[in-house]
Amino acid sequence: MDIKGKKAVVFGGTSGIGLATCLQLVEKGAEVIAVSRQPDKAGDVPAGVTLKQCDTTDESAVEKLLAECAPFDILISAATGGSRAVGPFTSMDMEGYKGSFAKLWGYANVVRHGTQHLSDNGAIVLVSGAPARRCKPGQVAISSVGGAVENLVRAVAPEITPKRINAMSPGQIDTPMVALEGQERVDFYNKMTANHVINRAGTAAECAQGIVFLVENDYVTGTTLDVDGGWVYAP
């Protein structure tokens, strides 16, 4: 796909990986609509990006928004969906575990209602996470949701062809989701990536490059691209 002149809708597009993706799409000449639950809290938005408000877990709102944005060629969701439960599974609050799946339900809403407005050679990209295939202690909920997202992509791909759908799986990425600052932030990421093949945190821009690849390459569908610094292969 030649991104220049194409129209993209990016859920979760006002911070972190989603924002970095919007920036790269604009640089390649796309018209971009960035969707957020709280667009009023977005920072500087570059020219070429339009802000829209929507919660992906509100199916009717997602359906309405996508109809308003239609037609489009690129559909991306990096929206987290809400809180994520962490800690040992056997002592985890089950409501917290269930709540972690808000991300999956949001993705399902976006894909179901977005596919019908996507151009025939269009592309969908969802954001998974490295714990889906290499779960560290305390990440059972995150791993479960990520695994479901990746399987959703594999299952949906044959149904929507020639339209394409893929997932990008990030590792430990330095984004605003971690609220720590200064040396405390540096120490946190150093600890989290100490045994990774590339022992540093990744950047939102590096993840966005993976998403853009999945958009541009017409011969890739139903798969997951790892941008994880070797998380999956860590000893």
Q: Amino acid letter at 22?
A: C
CATH superfamily of 7-175+204-228: NAD(P)-binding Rossmann-like Domain (3.40.50.720)
**Helix locations, 180-222, DSSP H:** 182-192, 204-216
Positive or negative, the CA dihedral 81, 83, 87, 90 is negative
What average pLDDT does this structure show over 150-167? Answer: 98
Residue 112 scores a pLDDT above 90: yes
Task: With cut-offs at 50, 70 and 90, classify the pLDDT of residue 159.
Answer: very high
The per-residue pLDDT of the chain, averaged, comes to 92
Q: Amino acid letter at 155?
A: A
The helix/strand/coil state of 146 is: helix
Residue 44 scores a pLDDT above 80: no
What tens digit of pLDDT does each residue of 162-209 get?
999 999 999 988 877 776 778 878 888 888 788 888 888 889 999 999
Instruction: Choose among 186, 205, 187, 200: nearest CA to 231.
Output: 200
0.85 exceeded by the pTM? yes
**Helix locations, 3-139, DSSP H:** 16-27, 59-69, 94-99, 102-115
Rounded CA-CA distance 112/78 in Å is 16
Residue 195 is predicted with a pLDDT of: 82
Residue 65 scores a pLDDT above 90: yes
- Hunting for tokens 């958009």 — which residue is that? 215
Residue 168 is predicted with a pLDDT of: 98
- Hunting for tokens 């139903």 — which residue is that? 222
Rounded CA-CA distance 53/223 in Å is 29
What tens digit of pLDDT does each residue of 68-98 get?
999 999 999 999 877 788 999 999 999 999 9
What tens digit of pLDDT does each residue of 10-33 get?
999 998 999 999 999 999 999 999
Domains of the chain, by residue range, sit at: 7-175+204-228
Rounded CA-CA distance 7/61 in Å is 20
Residue 227 is predicted with a pLDDT of: 96
Q: Residues with Cβ < 8 Å from 88, sequence gap 6 or more? A: 137, 138, 140
Residue 32 is predicted with a pLDDT of: 97
The helix/strand/coil state of 72 is: strand
